[in-house]
Amino acid sequence: MEPGEPQEPQEPREPGPGAETAAAQVWEEAKIFYDNLAPKKKPKSPKPQNAVTIAVSSRALFRMDEEQRIYTEQGVEEYVRYQLEHENEPFSPGPAFPFVKALEAVNRRLRELYPDSEDVFDIVLMTNNHAQVGVRLINSINHYDLFIERFCMTGGNSPICYLKAYHTNLYLSADAEKVREAIDEGIAAATIFSPSRDVVVSQSQLRVAFDGDAVLFSDESERIVKAHGLDRFFEHEKAHENKPLAQGPLKGFLEALGRLQKKFYSKGLRLECPIRTYLVTARSAASSGARALKTLRSWGLETDEALFLAGAPKGPLLEKIRPHIFFDDQMFHVAGAQEMGTVAAHVPYGVAQTPRRTAPAKQAPAAQ
């Protein structure tokens, strides 16, 4: 062909072997790349009245020891300044952190089985922190990939008045006074404590352990022990074996856990249920255990395991269970659980909370 002459059109070539496969691979790699650039899609928050709402304070969810020291020693202005200067540094996990992660693991399973249901755990960060601290809290939550969309920051005022508006099923705080306020308002609440040492807990199953009297049940029986001693208590429990105990402050939370468990049971997952509950009580099975179990039965509730210790320490058993949280009304048992690496929460309810009063000094008789 001479230069300048028009070229004859050529037949299009068929793609060589493997060309389609290579193109598909390039497309898949590009899709993965852009998917990673896009923000992760989070589930929609449920309506509060449909969910099991867990309100957690910032000092329960995260470790804020240094910040609390600054607040106590130097005041609120220095505290806020420090938080602003460090707002890109995530807080370290606090005692409630493993519990919250376990709640989220249960939620993932529930959403797989019931995509349209709002009957899941909803976590609310409930704190009296100033709103200026909110950025650091948000950054910390995003750092750990927690799904906490609802915040209540009250700028120094007590957040307790908001708990009912959030339909709170359980309130956890490091502030004992606020917990007492919540209990007085009829809300299930506990003061949470860090364990003395770290223990590995389940990443796939939420484990919650409860004391019985003054936690799930009323303090009726504890009052008899304190007033009349153990022998009278055993007689009373035997005589009233078929009379259910009145409910305690955390009965409603156990009820909520039971409701979610039944959603797994209905799918044939009783043995693989990602929620497991425990009754860990100082009661003796033979002399007073029947009334406790019959009370739960009368409420239409149960625990997966019931451990009657007849006064023995609870810590060693809790070390075997490794719950994400253990609730008790007596600080003696809370301290014992802490020593064994259990995250324990004190429920300030019942006769055990009554301060001991010393007998008044005898006065000399008045002159006649």
pLDDT at 17: 54
Kindly list the structural domains of the chain, giving each domain's residue range(s) and its CATH number in brackets, ordered by start.
52-191 (3.40.50), 206-346 (3.40.50)
Q: Is 231 labeled as catalytic in the residue annotation? A: no
- Work out the average pLDDT over 88-107: 97
Least trusted range by pLDDT, from 10-24, 185-199, 280-294, 347-361: 10-24
Instruction: Give tens-digit pLDDT for 126-155.
Output: 998 888 889 999 999 999 999 999 999 998
Which DSSP string do the residues of 19-59 spell out, in sequence order?
Answer: HHHHHHHHHHHHHHHHHHHSPPPPPPPPPGGGSEEEEE-HH
* Per-residue pLDDT reduced to its tens digit, 73-93: 999 899 889 999 999 999 999
pLDDT in tens, 316-340: 999 999 999 999 999 999 999 999 9
Which residue matches tokens 């005589």? 239
Contact 279, 303 (CB under 8 A): yes
pLDDT higher than threshold 70 for residue 281: yes
Encoding tokens for residue 7? Answer: 């070229």
Band (6; pLDDT cuts 50, 70, 90): very low
The structure's pTM equals 0.83
Long-range CB contact pairs, 170-173, < 8 A, 24+: 170/53, 170/54, 170/55, 170/250, 170/253, 171/55, 171/56, 171/126, 172/54, 172/55, 172/56, 172/57, 172/60, 172/96, 172/99, 172/325, 172/345, 173/56, 173/57, 173/59, 173/60, 173/126
42 confidence band (pLDDT: 50, 70, 90): confident
Nearest to 181 by CA among 349, 355, 356: 349
Q: Residues 206-250: pLDDT tens digits? A: 999 999 999 999 998 888 888 888 888 888 888 888 999 999 999
pLDDT at 63 over 70: yes
Return mean pLDDT, the chain. 87
Q: Which residues, 6 or more positions from 222, have their beta carbon under 8 angstroms from its beta carbon? A: 213, 214, 350, 351, 352
Q: Which residue has the higher pLDDT, 218 or 356?
A: 218
pLDDT at 348 over 60: yes
Helix (H) or strand (E) run with residue 179 in it: helix 176-184
Residues 52, 260 contacting (CB under 8 angstroms): yes
User: Which whole number is the average pLDDT over 273-302?
Assistant: 94
- In terms of pLDDT, which residue wins out, 342 or 32? 342
Element (H, E) at 251: helix 251-265
Q: Which of 159, 177, 140, 129 is nearest to 55 (CA)?
A: 159
- Catalytic-labelled residue, pool 211, 213, 328, 329: 211
